[in-house]
Amino acid sequence: MEGAAVNLRALYERLVRQAEVLSEGNEFQFLQLAKNFEESRRRWQRTEQELGRYKDLLLKTEAERSALDVKLKHARNQVDVEIKRRQRAEMDCEKLERQIQLIRELLLCDSSGSLQLSEEQKSVLAFLNRPKVSVGGSGSKRLSTIDESGSILSDISFDRTEDSLDWDSSVVKAVRLKRREKRVSLFTPAATSATICHLSSSLSG
């Protein structure tokens, strides 16, 4: 019986305390809590909006980067093509300069007059009596456009592999060796006349 009375008394005291808490009037704290919830909701909403905007900006930036990558690839290919053209042009200029030098030497050494040239050939080859002008200089002027394009694209990462360098050097060596082998045969009168005719037609064309 006493135990039941103790339990009832403890329950009564707890109910009294809860009633006192409810009667204290904490409306201000509840209002402040509600305001804090509303502010947090607004911040969350702004964060969601910023996140969506940054996602759109990221997609746009990735699209621009892809377009720039394509342009960079095309620019590298164009530089590669221009370099190969320049190499071929320099080799052609060197070959022509060597042919002109050989013809000059042959004409100067032809004391017997075995070479019979037409008036047209003499007119075309009249420049041999002028002071020698380096063909490489004029070639460098003609190739100045390639140099300018190379300077414009100097910030582009463009590497040539060792294999390509070895291939270029082997080609140059092969061309020089072949030219030296043909040099001896060019000193015969028949070969000299044929060479002069070929060079004359090239210059007149």
Q: Higher confidence at residue 114 or residue 52?
A: 52
**Spatial contact of 117 and 125, defined as CB atoms under 8 Å apart:** yes
Compute the mean pLDDT over every residue in the chain, rounded to the nearest whole number: 71
pLDDT surpassing 80 at residue 165: no
Higher pLDDT, 20 or 183: 20
Q: Identify the pLDDT of residue 189.
A: 53
Average pLDDT of the residues in 9-29: 75
**The two three-digit tokens of residue 194, written as one number:** 């044929």
Predicted confidence (pLDDT) per residue in 53-111, tens digit: 999 999 999 999 999 999 999 999 999 999 999 999 999 999 998 888 888 787 777 66
Tell me the pTM: 0.41
Note the pLDDT of residue 5: 72
Confidence of residue 195 (pLDDT cuts 50, 70, 90): low
Measured over the CA atoms of residue 82, residue 83, residue 88 and residue 92, the dihedral's sign is positive
pLDDT band at 150 (very low <50, low <70, confident <90, very high): very low
- pLDDT of 29 reads 75
Tokens of 183: 């040099």
Reported as a single tens digit per residue, the pLDDT across 134-144 is 544 444 444 45
CA 68 vs CA 5, 58, 76, 78: distances in Å:
87, 15, 12, 15
Residue 115 has pLDDT above 70, yes or no: no
Q: What is the mean pLDDT of residues 5-34?
A: 76
Helices 135-142/144-152 angle, 10° precision = 50
Instruction: Summarize the confidence of residues 35-54 as an average pLDDT.
Output: 93
